[in-house]
Amino acid sequence: MTNRPDQDFSVYVVEDDESVRNSFCALLNAHGYATMPCESAEGFLKTFDPEQKACMLLDVRLPGMSGPQLQAQLAEMGIDIPIIVVTAHGDVPIAVQVMRNGAIDFIEKPTEAGRLLEAIELAGGLLANRTPFELPKKIIADRLAKLTDREKEVLRHMLEGKLNKEIAAELGISRRTIEVHRWRIREKMQVRGIADLIRMLG
């Protein structure tokens, strides 16, 4: 745990890979966050303090109870803690499902420090009872109207959590073409990625 927490909330880092867990904690500690490292979901449940203001960085694949299973258990227990899911590329469909079940963001490994810190700041905003700004429906509709029919088709598959290769196979076009479509969708919808699209359209 950091010895100089500047922030008014802590971060549970639930990650079974020790080097990744230590790396996350070191980065967050350097930015003033107190961290509670947990190597498993079961370990988190043992150390969790409901009185403490905190968010969670949660790996999808864990020994024993998985990340999504932990999320479901917390929901059953009525525990509302902002969850940021960290996932390997192949787990993106699972991460999309976890987002739909209430996680606030998901980040693919290898993780960019800036992206991780942005997500933690978003969690801090929620913990401070600031609801994220919601775009008016008209603006969202106007942005959707800018998409071509093919881009809308790709977007629908993206929201279902499909990987580029799966979308390419289904639509009979190359993965490179899908990557171009995804880039254009991000530009026209003015988002950083799939997590923002789920928040906007989910």
Q: Which fold has domain 10-127?
A: Rossmann fold (3.40.50)
170: number of Cβ within 10 Å: 13
> Under a CB-based contact definition with an 8 Å cutoff, are residues 85 and 60 in contact?
yes
Q: Where in the chain is the domain with CATH 1.10.10.10?
A: 137-201
In the chain, at which residue ranges do the beta strands (DSSP E only) sit?
A: 10-14, 34-38, 54-59, 83-87, 105-108
Its pTM stands at 0.70
pLDDT in tens, 9-29: 999 999 999 999 999 999 999
Q: Using 50, 70 and 90 to split pLDDT, how confident is the model at 1? A: very low
What is the CATH architecture assignment of 137-201? Orthogonal Bundle (1.10)
pLDDT in tens, 147-201: 999 999 999 999 988 889 999 999 999 999 999 999 999 999 988 778 788 878 8
* CA-derived radius of gyration, the chain: 18
Q: Where in the chain is the domain with CATH 3.40.50.2300?
A: 10-127
- The per-residue DSSP string of 54-89 comes to EEEEEESS-SSS-HHHHHHHHHHTT----EEEEE-G
Q: Using 50, 70 and 90 to split pLDDT, how confident is the model at 7? A: confident
Task: Tell me which residue of 22, 28, 20, 24 sits closest to 4, measured CA to CA.
Answer: 28
- Report the DSSP pairing between strands 83-87 and 105-108: parallel
Q: Using 50, 70 and 90 to split pLDDT, how confident is the model at 134? A: low
Task: Tell me which residue of 109, 127, 131 sits closest to 53, measured CA to CA.
Answer: 127
